[in-house]
């Protein structure tokens, strides 16, 4: 299944219009993105809750790791650098955290509020190797940037 990003963008915009609560926005985005593509085995947010610390937020799929320091894993790398992480094979990523043994590839994107502060990372895992493209990253980052610009 290929994602129709134009429709996904419109749907998420309609569902989140006027909402500013970050957790409510995360729950809605997670649900819509997770069900948009069969490549997405686990989809969710890790929220910045303290210096150099992420905690699990709304997600779809099996259990996720509860706490991830910025110093560990793909999510930590995204939070630490502020850069999108596309990992074709998690076995080749130094320090990968295996929250689920089924994960083969991963896409993690930074989530910023309107002031540019990092408030979370958006993590998508796939049970397929090399599941994510730069086009996925670009389209999903645009959705996140639009949705969280007024988050509180």
Cα(131)–Cα(4) distance, integer angstroms: 16
What is the pLDDT at residue 90?
A: 85
Cα(122)–Cα(16) distance, integer angstroms: 17
pLDDT tens digits for 137-148? 999 999 999 999
Range of the domain at 139: 30-150
Residue 10: which residues within 8 A CB-CB, separation 6 or more?
none
Q: For the ranges 44-53, 86-95, 113-122, which has the lowest average pLDDT?
A: 86-95
In this prediction, residue 103 has a pLDDT band, given cuts at 50, 70 and 90, of confident
Cα(68)–Cα(98) distance, integer angstroms: 11
Does the pLDDT value for residue 1 go beyond 70? no
Model's pTM, two decimal places? 0.95
In a domain, 4, yes or no: no
Query: How is residue 104 annotated by DSSP?
Result: -
In a domain, 6, yes or no: no
What is the pLDDT at residue 101?
A: 73
Domain of 65: which CATH number? 3.30.450.40
In a domain, 120, yes or no: yes
Mean predicted confidence (pLDDT) in 64-93: 93
In a domain, 59, yes or no: yes
In a domain, 22, yes or no: no
Which SS3 state, helix, strand or coil, does residue 50 take? strand
In a domain, 24, yes or no: no
Q: In what order do the strands lie in the sheet with 105-112?
A: 67-69, 53-60, 42-50, 118-126, 105-112, 85-87
Q: Using N-to-C axis directions, what is the helix angle for 134-147 and 22-34, rounded to 10°?
A: 150
In a domain, 21, yes or no: no
Cβ–Cβ under 8 Å, residues 131 and 105: yes
Number of compact structural domains in the chain: 1
Cβ–Cβ under 8 Å, residues 89 and 104: yes
In a domain, 23, yes or no: no
């Amino acid at each position: 299944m290929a994602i129709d990003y134009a429709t996904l963008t419109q749907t998420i915009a309609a569902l989140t219009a006027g909402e500013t609560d970050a957790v409510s926005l995360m729950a809605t985005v997670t649900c819509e993105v997770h069900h948009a593509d069969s490549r997405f085995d686990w989809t969710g947010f890790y929220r910045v809750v303290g210096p150099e610390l992420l905690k699990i937020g709304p997600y779809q799929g099996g259990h996720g790791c509860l706490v991830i320091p910025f110093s560990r894993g793909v999510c930590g790398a995204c939070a630490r650098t502020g850069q999108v992480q596309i990992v074709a094979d998690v076995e080749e990523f130094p320090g990968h955290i295996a929250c689920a043994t089924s994960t083969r590839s991963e896409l993690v994107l930074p989530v910023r509020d309107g002031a540019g502060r990092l408030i979370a990372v958006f993590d998508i895992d796939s049970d397929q190797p090399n599941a994510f493209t730069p086009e996925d990253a670009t389209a999903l980052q645009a959705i996140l940037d639009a949705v969280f610009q007024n988050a509180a």
